[in-house]
Chains A and B, each alone.
Chain A
């Protein structure tokens, strides 16, 4: 993908399996939104091959569109429409292609039953976001795109949203591709995590696989005689075994913390950017030689 003369995406290669939840992570400007918009068919790519549900999104027709759900970041569109009225109306567009959600069930699924007769402009930020999700899934899509779905959610709304995503992927076998800045969320929701940095996929795997690949160190905390100790090690099990062998009963408050996805992610991006800078420095030297 190219803007002017700058390639913003290169070597973005991945595959999503049916019913899988994929999280696309990456720093701002990494190309997450561009990637997702190419897949949604809202943006033309300059090169490469893309197949979404067996069709090139650049040539996707209305029947293809009906199999895809897009959760958009809303602002103030349809502000005069009432929640139920809007979902009912948008559902009718999917009728020739399949069976859209029953509007009352859908309203209940996103937790808006009490607000079903409110105008969209009267909803709070979190409620409005849930309406966006409802609009995205009203046609029972096989594939759902979520661009930062929980930005601005309170913890409760976030938990409910996570339950909804689980339900969609488990019960309806919906394939989901989401972007997020919330690493906890990615870890909770995603079967697989893709890390996008500098327009390239630099990691692809489950949260576990990523942290194993990075061989990040675990943190061991314990106390002995009232003093607190912290030690970082890549072999937590071996270290703890040794600790007990040495001090036995004196050890208390033992706590082993595996590197979180956040640590792994930050390490990945840092390594990548360091590599990038080295490469940039090398080409700079070459040019100046």
Chain B
């Protein structure tokens, strides 16, 4: 068997095993369900109010936007977190000690993160379909748009997660990235139409993938009439694909370099040093 193919296959298996582990583990399940339930409750409370200038429920508009954020969180934040944790605990070093282990590890992570993103989307979308009126899910086009936005969104944000995860020395420092990401969520038109914000803020939001993920999801799930509250009153599919595509290309060029540099520095003593530090923190 070709060693590279074998490593990729082992990686896919690894991703599947880890998916099973994370979804049969109470703590992890809670981590997926709690935010989903919280968001559904918030959106249900917003059902009564309407988007200014329309008769459309804010709850319904927020649902697809939240799906976009959820994809970004699953792939960027989760991956960064897992990478820093698994570097600290030596999982990565083990992968390095095995032939083809790093490739397998990376493939495994892609499978696992994609799987959790998919499930994160499903646990909001499925109850959402019953809770919110006005979603436009009837035709194949809606699902196709959902699919390409989801896939492209993952490809655009996962390498960013890998870069962030490689650059931060440990999971506790990741809070430093969480803050700007939360800020981006706030200005990306997730809970309120972006056209209500000052124009300079709109420009900042449009640089980053979160806005486009939200827009793409809205374009998939909302009736076309809702374009009216978007920038230039359009779903802007080409622009969505373009911006997410640029992020994907940048990420896919930079991430392997950063990952390689990070992996090269791993050794038994670097893991031991981090273990010492972590144990001191506990004590």
Report which A residues bind B (CB closer than 8 A). 33-34, 36-37, 40, 42-43, 62-63, 65-66, 70, 72-81, 85, 89-90, 92-97, 135-136, 139, 147
Q: Are A33 and B268 in contact (CB under 8 A)?
A: yes
Give B51-99 interface residues, CB cut-off 8 Å to A.
Answer: 86, 89-91, 93-94, 96-99
* Contact of B7 with A93 in the complex, beta carbons under 8 Å: yes
A70 smallest CB distance to B (angstroms): 4
Do the beta carbons of A72 and B268 come within 8 Å of each other?
yes
The minimal Cβ–Cβ distance linking A18 to chain B, given in whole angstroms, is 21
When C-beta atoms are compared, the residue in chain A nearest to B93 turns out to be: A72
Q: Which of A36, A70, A73, A77 has the most CB of B within 10 A?
A: A77
Residue numbers in A under 8 Å from B97 (CB-CB): 40, 65, 70, 72, 136
Bound Cα distance from A80 to B19, whole angstroms: 11
- 12 residue pairs of the A-B complex, CB under 8 angstroms, read A33-B269, A36-B268, A37-B267, A75-B90, A78-B94, A85-B17, A92-B9, A93-B7, A93-B100, A93-B101, A96-B2, A97-B99
Chain A residues, CB < 8 A from B104 = 93
Complex alpha-carbon distance, A42 and B269, angstroms: 10
* Docked pose: A77 CA to B271 CA in angstroms: 11
4 A-B pairs with the lowest CB-CB distances in the bound complex, closest first:
A42-B267, A66-B99, A77-B91, A62-B99
State in angstroms the CA–CA spacing of A72 and B104 once bound together.
19
Structural contact, A76 and B89, CB atoms closer than 8 A: yes
Which A residue sits closest to B279, measured CB to CB? Answer: A75
Judge whether B267 and A77 touch: CB under 8 Å.
Answer: no
Q: Which residue of B lies closest to A132 (CB)?
A: B94
B228 CB within 8 Å of chain A: no
- Contact present for B268 and A37 (CB under 8 Å): yes
List residues of chain A with CB within 8 A of the CB of B91: 77-78
Other contacts beyond A65-B99, A77-B91, A93-B99: 6, CB < 8 A: A37-B268, A70-B268, A72-B97, A77-B94, A93-B6, A93-B7
Q: In the complex, what distance in Å separates the CA atom of A93 from the CA atom of B93?
A: 15
The CA-CA distance from A139 to B9 in the complex, in Å, is: 17
